[in-house]
């Protein structure tokens, strides 16, 4: 344990110039021997470090390839080539600058995690069940870090949706038993990097230092502890990555290396939030530029990934995070607004280094073909994405949501039709399916607070193809509309001392809330042991009379899923599904234990979904 702690601290050291008055920080703060990414660019940041600087390196197995300055003298970029025989240690880098001082930077080269037998970068697949939460809103495990002296945002008020509430990674650690009890196998959190902004820091998407874990969440030690605890339980860690933008108070914006690090406009120009210009063969150049180069918000400057120094900074940071914190999956924020050529390059670097690592991108777009454009697909197009999977907005907006909202039963045709377009993807099982998230209205509210709709939605989520993702609180029917977004980011009940309702212990939950939580628990745990639901094939039948039936199956197991979103009962004639039911005599409801003979028709009640294991 002591060696482990020493390694973790060493991995996060900020290098210092030995004889300089001021501190110079290095990015990345360390690297490793044995990495495929062996051409390493170190960015130094410190007062005047680049002024007429000259660099020399003397260390076996390390070659100085080049160094270059930029318009801001506070930066210096050094390119090193690490040869296959290089050994761990501290690489002495000598810098002579315009001030006449010869200074030495001792740069750490470490042994990789793989040398210690640590399991990481495992990938998150359809065999997993993701729980997605906002650390600030889930549970406060360490009140001592609620406010950090010197940080710009000193707010702490649970009565305000826009202030910090104090949740942290220690709070998550306290409740890993709860997550496992739901059948969860992977944890995805909104970003944990430092967001030293004046306000609205609860969401985490405005980075101010890529190499610092936000101390209000517990810092790097807590993140390492959480990663270890998850892996010890056989669970996985997903990191939320943001390449498109940073926070306005990021040191790279406040002390800009050069103008080309950001997309600059004569006046503030916001993205058009449109995906169509990026794939439209008839699109205008200005519309494409607005899509990719417009700023996300005035508080989030847009990075220019066409600048090679920016691209290298982002790629190396991604690799550094996976290696340092034992990340298994990589969720990419605002995927479509990034430079797509850069994204292919970055994805390749990650997958070359970590072949099992899962990558999925947020592609909030309009239509299945549009969504498939940003993932590995079967389309013959000039641009070919190498992104393995996407967050599947189409299965939500054009699938399960209209299905449950249309009480005539006709809405299931939208769900059927959306899934019929899976031929567009190279592997639709890599897509992440979900009911809601931190940016949109809660599913329960969208469905008119209809308990039957929520039960159907959750049953579909845990039996459909793809990787299921549950947003925190959906398992107890938390509600709220997304305008403003703070209403869908409320505290998880029981995460703070004195909460009158406690979803962890079930104290104070209503009968309906308990029923929903039990549905998730039963189906989540069943899924964990179900080969058909985890990795089996999907076969769906055209909806008839308001009923929609699909099967998940493999050589070991067959699951029949029957959905009736209409108000009236429908008659299921199992003989219609003989292709999949042949050889079976009955279906046993996974949730209730009820048994149904397959040799005669059955009546499926209105607003009901069956999940039947065939026997």
Active site positions, annotated: 333, 362
CA-to-CA distance for 465 and 329, rounded, in angstroms? Answer: 18
The tokens 């209409």 sit on which residue?
566
Are 56 and 103 spatial neighbours (Cβ–Cβ below 8 Å)? no
Asked whether the CA dihedral 295, 187, 434, 450 is positive or negative, the reply is: negative
Nearest to 237 by CA among 112, 331, 143, 341: 331
Q: Are 565 and 402 in contact (CB under 8 A)?
A: no
Q: How many alpha carbons lie under 13 Å from residue 72 in its C-beta half-sphere?
A: 19
Length of the chain: 615
Rounded distance between C-alpha atoms, residue 578 and residue 600, angstroms: 12
What are the backbone angles phi and psi of residue 596, rounded to the nearest 5°?
-130, 125
SS3 of 411, please? coil
Cβ atoms of 495 and 139 within 8 Å: the answer is yes
Q: What is the DSSP string of 572-592?
A: E-GGGGHHHHTT--EEEETTT
The C-alpha angle 457, 462, 463, rounded to 5 degrees, equals 100
Q: Which residues of 574-594 are buried (b: 16+ CB within 10 A; e: fewer)?
A: beebeebbeebeebeebbeee
Question: If you compute the radius of gyration of the chain from its CA atoms, what whole number of angstroms results?
Answer: 26
Q: Number of C-alpha atoms within 13 angstroms, CB side, residue 439?
A: 10
Query: Are 412 and 543 in contact, with CB atoms under 8 Å apart?
Result: yes
């Amino acid at each position: 344990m002591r060696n482990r702690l020493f390694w973790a601290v060493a991995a996060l050291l900020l290098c210092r110039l030995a004889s300089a008055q001021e501190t110079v920080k290095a990015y990345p703060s360390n690297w490793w021997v044995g990495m495929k990414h062996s051409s390493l660019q170190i960015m130094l940041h410190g007062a005047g470090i680049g002024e007429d600087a000259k660099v020399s390196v003397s260390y076996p197995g390390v070659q100085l390839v080049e160094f270059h300055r930029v318009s801001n003298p506070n930066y210096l970029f050094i390119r090193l080539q690490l040869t296959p025989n290089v050994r761990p240690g501290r690489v002495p880098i000598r810098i002579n600058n315009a001030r006449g001082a010869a200074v030495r930077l001792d740069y750490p080269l470490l042994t990789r995690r793989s040398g210690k037998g640590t399991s990481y970068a495992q990938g998150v697949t359809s065999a997993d069940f993701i729980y997605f939460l906002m650390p600030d809103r889930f549970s406060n495990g360490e009140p001592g870090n609620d406010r950090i002296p010197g940080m710009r945002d000193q707010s702490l008020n649970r009565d305000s949706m826009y202030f910090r509430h104090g949740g942290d990674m220690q709070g998550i650690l306290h409740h890993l038993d709860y997550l496992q009890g739901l059948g969860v196998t992977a944890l995805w959190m909104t970003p944990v990097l430092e967001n030293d902004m004046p306000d609205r820091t609860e969401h985490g998407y405005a980075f101010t230092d890529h190499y610092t874990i936000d101390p209000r969440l517990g810092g790097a030690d807590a993140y390492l502890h959480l990663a270890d605890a998850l892996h010890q339980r056989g669970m996985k860690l997903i990191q939320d990555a943001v390449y498109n933008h940073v926070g306005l108070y990021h040191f790279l914006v406040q002390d800009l290396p050069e103008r080309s690090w950001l997309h600059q406009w004569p006046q503030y120009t916001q993205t058009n939030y449109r995906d169509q210009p990026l794939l439209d063969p008839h699109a205008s150049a200005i519309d494409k530029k607005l899509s990719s180069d417009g700023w996300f918000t005035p508080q989030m400057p847009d990075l220019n990934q066409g600048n090679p120094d920016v691209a290298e900074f982002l790629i190396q940071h991604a690799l550094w995070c996976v290696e340092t914190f034992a990340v298994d999956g990589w969720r990419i924020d605002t995927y479509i607004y990034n430079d797509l050529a850069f994204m292919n390059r970055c994805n390749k670097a990650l997958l070359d280094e970590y072949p099992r690592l899962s990558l999925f991108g947020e592609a909030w777009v309009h239509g299945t073909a549009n969504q498939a454009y940003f993932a590995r697909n079967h389309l013959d197009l000039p641009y070919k994405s190498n992104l393995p999977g996407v967050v599947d907005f189409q299965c939500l907006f054009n699938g399960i949501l209209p299905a449950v909202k249309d009480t005539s039963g006709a809405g299931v045709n939208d769900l059927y039709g959306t899934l019929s377009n899976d031929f567009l993807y190279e592997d639709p099982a890599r897509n992440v399916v979900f009911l809601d998230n931190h940016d949109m209205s809660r599913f329960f509210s969208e469905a008119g607070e209809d308990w039957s709709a929520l039960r159907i939605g959750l049953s579909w989520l845990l039996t459909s193809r793809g990787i299921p993702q549950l947003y925190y609180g959906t398992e107890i029917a938390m509600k709220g509309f997304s305008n403003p977004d703070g209403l869908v980011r409320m505290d998880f009940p029981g995460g703070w001392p004195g909460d009158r309702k406690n979803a962890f212990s079930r104290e104070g939950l209503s009968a309906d809330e308990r029923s929903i939580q039990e549905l998730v628990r039963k189906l989540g745990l069943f899924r964990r042991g179900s080969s058909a639901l985890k990795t089996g094939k999907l076969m769906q039948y055209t909806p008839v009379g308001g009923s929609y039936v699909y099967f998940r199956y493999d050589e070991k197991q067959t699951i029949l899923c029957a959905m009736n979103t209409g108000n009236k009962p429908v008659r299921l004639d199992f003989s219609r599904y003989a292709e999949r039911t042949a050889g079976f005599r009955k279906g046993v409801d996974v949730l209730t234990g009820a048994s149904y003979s397959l040799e005669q028709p059955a009546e499926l009640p209105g607003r009901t979904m069956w999940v039947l294991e065939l026997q």
